[in-house]
Structure 1
Amino acid sequence: MSKVNLKQEESLSIKFNHQMSAGEQRTIDLFFYLPKEMGIASNTLNEEEYYHFGVVGRRSYYSHGLHLPLVQSRFVSLKNRSLEEFRLYLNLFAYQFAVAIETDAKELRQLTAPEEFYPALNDLSDVVIQLLKKFRRNEPKEEKWRSYFAHADNYLSWFCEQQLLKTLSQRPRSSGFSDIKDKVIQLCRAEHHYREEERKYNSSRTHHDANRISNKMLLLRRLIQQGVVLKEELKVLGVGLKKMVTGFATGLVMIVVSALIIKAHGVFNGLTISLIISLSVIYAFREIFKEDIRNALWRKIQRGRPRWSRILRDTSTQTIVARQLVWLEFMRKQDIPETITEIMKHRHRQNKVESEVLHYRVNTRVTPKDFSAGYSEIQEQVNFSLVPFARHLERGKAKIYSETDGKVSNESVERRYQVNLVLKVKDGKHQAEYARFKVTMNRSSIVEITESKLPDNIAALT
């Protein structure tokens, strides 16, 4: 398994995720090569706005396992632990169970061929049945622990049912595979009966009201995340420096304005209409150029500097788990690292088009202290929405004509664009590793993501 995984998440988003242990340091760089014909550049896409609305991250504790976030032996041994330890382990199990099912269901919904979709759906339902049975087999007998278990059990039952029903609603149409569809429907009915009739987790008023049940499950999800998802403290860097740049730009403009005012007084004797008009023009130009000069100075000074810092804390102990620095900017051609340029030179000739380069970097330092409650790693998942990119794209208007037996027919074709994405990963003082991906997209979705071969003299990501 690669140390950093990149894949499609939704129809117009991609995600990378990775895990880190205590004491590790890692820098991840993503270089988005956006063809100029897409019309995306610093004047059409604000990096700061894109970061806040298009880049969504999730950082939590992580434990290895095949779908099962914690090995069964560790979960069984919870009876020998304190109430707080039980709650933390239970939350980690339930949270990563939910994340695993959600991830598998998203990948499944991207399959369009019935021959691939339905067998994968059958496998997913088997995994859900197996994990729910293992989870419920370890229900605690102590009354003080059972409320925590009930919250997690209620949410997992509802969430699995929702993911399966959502997947069924988006299934490819096929006259076959009715046995698999019936099996999944029976599983969903069984979970609904388990929650509402056997355990009576939710009142009749709640489970018959979509708003009430949705809000209750959001609350249960937040309770499950307690102690697992890390608390984030994001800080914008360079606020004081930006104020200094604003002051300097204003002072620079005022020097020029003052000189022009003095000259205008020398040209026009006394207070005349001509002097008033001249002063009005001078002050108008001051307002226009002050912003331009400030923005130009700020972009030059900010280039290459981190934009944000982030502190990750354990929500239970409030101790610092990791620190991060984040960069996001459009890069000039001369600022692109030589290795990245060399990788991009190995494209096919027809793909060598002029591009704007959007660079994202995150540098993470994990605290050398052991994590609480026996956790071994933290996981970061970052989603990049390509919706802001797609807004600039043209809709396909072309048609392809063909002739058969003297009859001419046409077929509308979509306009596709290819975004090259270079991934760079550097662990501590080790040699950097690279990977290149081709993201083919249109205005409505990502068509495919393929990994490209690197030059022989460049270390590939392992």
Structure 2
Amino acid sequence: MITVEKKDGHKIKISHVIQETTNRQLDLFIFVPGELGLNSHIISADEFYHNAIQGKRTYYSDVNHLPLVHSRLASRGKLSTEQYRLSLSLYAFQYALALEKTTQALLDSQEERTLEEVEEVAQLTIRILKRLRRNVPSDKKLHKYYENIDNYLSWFTEQRLLELVAHLPRNSEYSNIKTMLLEVCENEAEHRLNHEYNSSKARSDLTRMSNKMRLLRRLIEYPVTMKEKTDELGQNTRKIVTGFAAGFVMIFVTLMLIKARGVLGDITASFILALSFIYAAREVFKDDLKLMLWRWVRKGKPKWRKQFYDVNTNQLIGRQLEWMEYCSFKNLDEEIRQIRKHKVSQREETILHYKSTTRMSPTKFLSGYEQTLESLMLDLRGITKLMEKGSQKIYQLNDGQVSKESVDKRHLINLITRERDEDNTVRIQRWKIVMNRSKIVDIEPIETESSTEPSGLE
């Protein structure tokens, strides 16, 4: 199951957990309104891939007690420094993701929350942090990693709970919710102060504290994030096509030169003029022929290849092939056309299609982990540059009085995802992305009935 959430600015985070399957295909279809005028001449498919799509793959485990078992063993000297760091990093990373998702869900719905709902989240955070702090390693090297993780999780928990206090709807139970959340935040601030995790200068400078915590987040993510190496495919093919096009055109140029020499005789002004036209035609037709051959040879083939390596062992654990292209509605698969529901307004849409096929080797994963979490950050900032500035004037009639309201100009982008596992299980999901020139306003999931399971013989 894929989840889509909005991030700062015009960024969208697309996340999904990949189970033990070794082969998997992912398709993203981005339907951009035709009124924006997006096409391959304004933003090429390659440019969109490099500027708008950024991927990251990490280890993932839903067995939350495994890192804690490792921490207990490490406290007895039975785990190496790297194993301990990896285990606690995974535990902290999963906790941070879960807390982000939970608090964001409380804020996005804009519904009034009861004290019991928010208290459940707060109590879960308290219990998880207590479990982490139950076994503090005595070894100095291990204690350094523990302090970094405990410091960040304490600060991150405080920040997310303060965000709830600031943005939760005000209702009859808000005062009790606020008191309860602020108590947890004060306890975490006192915990960091008692353990002297941060200097007085860092505590008094918000920018310095934010930069430090961002660095700690990167240190936590590093051991569980796979290294990527991206190669652009078709480089040798491009050289062959270029050479073939040049040679093919030169055959005709040579024949024309021989013909011109036979007709015009010795080197004269007419011969030089004819020669200049022949070479000018060569340059024009050579580029056109090269482009035509290149498109024909590379049609339907992947453009990039990614290789994934374990950061701890540098062992190759997976490969991924990627495509990026513009496509028309009539060339889409029938199941995608049905989900989009073709109407007059959709005929003018510009469709961007991203495709990836992944092959992983779970047997080469770290011991105890058989799943990975893939996160794609989709940056739509390039599309917003095509949107008009300003706002629209809307007039309303209320009790015999005419009022004028200014509303921002918004555009609707449809996102359809399709997952296909190695057993041919297909899952299709759809979202509506409402955005204006300055930000993404809302992301609305649309119900679909297109998941298909592999058929078996009776």
Instruction: Determine the structure 2 residue equivalent to 1:427.
Output: 421
RMSD: 3.7
Q: Distance in 1 between matches of 2:53 and 2:368?
A: 30
Hey, what's the Cα distance between the residues in 2 that align with 1:395 and 1:162?
34
Secondary structure of the residue aligned to 1:89 is: helix
Aligned residues: 449
Q: Structure 2 residue aligned with 1:20, among 18, 28, 32?
A: 18
Q: Percent identity?
A: 35
The match for 1:56 among 54, 68, 71 is 54
The 8 Å contact of residues 231 and 315 in structure 1, kept in 2 or not, is answered as: yes
Contact 2:68 2:88 in 1 (8 A): no
Q: Which moved more, 1:202-211 or 1:235-244?
A: 202-211
Of 345, 350, 355, the match for 2:349: 355
Q: Which residue of 1 aligns with 2:337?
A: 341
2:381 paired residue number: 387
Q: Match of 1:229?
A: 225
Once the 2 structures are TM-superposed, how far is the Cα of residue 105 of structure 1 from its aligned partner? 4.0
Match of 1:311? 307
Q: Which of 429, 443, 450 lines up with 1:448 in the alignment?
A: 443
What is the aligned counterpart of 1:181 among 178, 181, 197? 178
Q: Secondary structure at the match of 2:47?
A: helix
After TM superposition, the score normalised by the length of structure 2 is 0.82
Alpha-carbon distance in 1 for matches of 2:314, 2:224: 12
Who is 2:146 aligned against?
149
Segments of structure 2 that go 5 or more residues without pairing to the other structure are: none
Deviates more, 1:252-261 or 1:434-443: 252-261
Do structure 1's residue 199 and structure 2's residue 192 form an aligned pair? Answer: no
Alignment of structure 1 residues 9-408 onto 2, 5 Å: 9-10=6-7, 12-22=10-20, 24-64=22-62, 68=64, 70=66, 76=72, 78-79=74-75, 81-83=78-80, 84-112=82-110, 115-116=112-113, 123-165=120-162, 177-195=174-192, 197-210=193-206, 212-251=208-247, 272=269, 294-333=290-329, 335-344=331-340, 347=341, 349=343, 352-395=346-389, 397-408=391-402
Q: Check 1:333–1:350 CA distance in 2 against 1; reply closer, same or farther (3 A cut).
A: closer
Give the counterpart letter for 2:433 in structure 1. V
SS at match of 2:224: coil
CA separation of 1:355 and 1:297: change in aligned 2, threshold 3 A: farther
Q: Say if 1:88 and 1:373, in contact at 8 Å, map to a contact too.
A: no
Counterpart secondary structure, 1:227: helix
Judged with a 3 Å threshold, the aligned counterparts in structure 2 of structure 1 residues 229 and 269 are, in CA distance, closer, same or farther, namely same
Return the offset for 1:367: 0.7
Measured after TM superposition, the shift of residue 153 of structure 1 is 1.2
Contact 2:304 2:321 in 1 (8 A): yes
CA contact (8 A) 1:436 1:454 kept: no
In 1, distance between residues paired with 2:274 and 2:108?
65
Which residue matches 2:430? Answer: 436
Partner of 1:459: 452
Q: Go from structure 1 to structure 2 and tell me whether the alpha carbon gap of 1:209 and 1:399 turns closer, same or farther (over 3 Å shift).
A: closer
Looking at structure 1, the residues matched to 168 and 190 of structure 2 have their Cα atoms a distance apart, in angstroms, of: 24
Residues in 2 aligned to 1:250 and 1:305: alpha-carbon distance in whole angstroms: 24
Structure 1 stretch 121-130 or stretch 147-156: which is displaced more? Answer: 121-130
Deviation at 1:445, TM superposition (A): 1.8
Per-residue deviation, 1:149:
1.1
- Superposed displacement of residue 315, structure 1: 0.8
Q: Deviations over 1:316-337 (max 9, x none)?
A: 1111222111111112455422
Unaligned runs of 5+ in 1: none
TM-score (norm 1): 0.81
Using a 3 Å threshold, how does the CA distance of structure 1 residues 87 and 261 change in structure 2: closer, same or farther? same
Q: Distance in 1 between matches of 2:114 and 2:47?
A: 37
Partner SS, residue 372 of structure 1: coil
* Structure 2 Cα separation of the partners of residues 283 and 69 of structure 1: 73
Q: Look up the SS of the partner of 2:90 in the other structure.
A: helix
Which stretch of structure 1 is more off in the superposition, 363-372 or 400-409? Answer: 400-409
